Amino acid sequence: MRKTVTRLADGRELLYYDRRDDIVREAVDRRSPDSSGPGQGLAGPPAGAAVSEVRHDPLLGDAVIVAAHRQGRTHHPPAGECPLCPSRDGRLSEIPDRDYEVVVFENRFPSLSGDTGRCEVVCFTPDHHASFADLSEDRAALVLAAWTDRTSALAELPGVRQVFCFENRGAEVGVTLAHPHGQIYAYPFVTPRTALMQRAVAAHLAATGRNLFDDTVERELADGARVVLKGAHWVAFVPYAAHWPYEVHLYPRRRVPDLRGLSDGACTEFPQIYLELLRRFDRVFGPDAPPTPYVAAWHQAPYDDERRGDFALHLELFTVRRSPGKLKFLAGSESGMSVFTNDVRPEAAAERLREVATTT
């Protein structure tokens, strides 16, 4: 893999990731730092003016990010003005080169910035109409390498406690740019969901002397009813108490705290397993259904936890679609009290995801 680091016109960092070592990236961002015209990709406040604030809720003990500058972020632009497409035919975008494989750059409208953390955008492909599921295994492996490289780099930033790599796909889950992309958040705090997992792991260890993540994976493999697919290095299953209609958790068979700990074998097998999962998600509602909206979220251990080795890296993939033409909306019990009601039995979801396999 070759990594090329450069800067955009307003000073934000941009990184190209290429599979070939002989690729040379010399394109320069020719936009004015304060340009705001259509298709220029710099509409809104310059990166240095983006100020976010982290406030702590004294009752719940969690954190809320206040980022008022995001009100003016780019919202569903036409394909001809997409800021994530390459700069071609006189139209300048966030990516100065006329082509790319994988690109990472600082978000122009970050939720976290300055002393409160950092937000980055990850573009998987220059093809505006593609999706992650359309990538080749080589390209998906390059994305994994980029996620891992950014995890290493962001972990070294002062004040960063946790790095979160994720992809949202579909307007139904709040995506405002249709171009296939993901994001990376570097948090200055441990996220509430991770803190809940840490407490559960500590309690299980105290009660049994065993690791909760390991026991969970072993239980699912032994039961088999919710296993969706498995390989030599990875296993994917619908969790016993799934919150979402179709939800799959993907674990490496050997527990590691974050992406940096994956073995060569796990890195090699990951594209095969993950691409198959995504393709099944697109088939689960039938051949005539539109692409399935989803969230794909990597859970990694916080960096200042003395027991971070007890945490298990895993990816959670879920959709808000519960049946053709119907979405799962959070109702009063879920939004108000965080008590979920799932309309699809987890065992039935797993069976359906096995039925729509695209490989044997």
**Catalytically annotated residue among 179, 181, 204, 314:** 181
HSE (side-chain half, CA atoms, 13 Å) at 202? 10
Give the residue among 64, 86, 84 at the shortest CA–CA distance from 74: 84
Q: Which helix (H) or strand (E) holds 314?
A: strand 314-319
Q: What is the rounded CA–CA span in Å between residue 184 and residue 6?
A: 18
**In the sheet that 162-169 helps form, which strands lie side by side, from edge to edge?**
2-7, 13-18, 102-106, 118-123, 181-187, 162-169, 294-299, 314-319, 246-252, 234-237, 227-230
> Which DSSP string corresponds to 14-68?
EEEEESSTT--------S-TT--STTSS--SS-GGG---EEEE-TTT--EEEE-G
Q: What is the rounded CA–CA span in Å between residue 115 and residue 55?
A: 13
**CB distance 145 to 128 below 8 Å:** no
**How many residues are there in the chain?**
360
Return the amino acid letter for 32: S
Provide the token pair at 240.
Answer: 């016993």
CB contact burial 216-236 (16+ within 10 A = b; e otherwise) = bbeebeeeeebbbbbbebbbb
181 is catalytic: yes
Q: Could you give the residue numbers annotated as active site?
A: 181
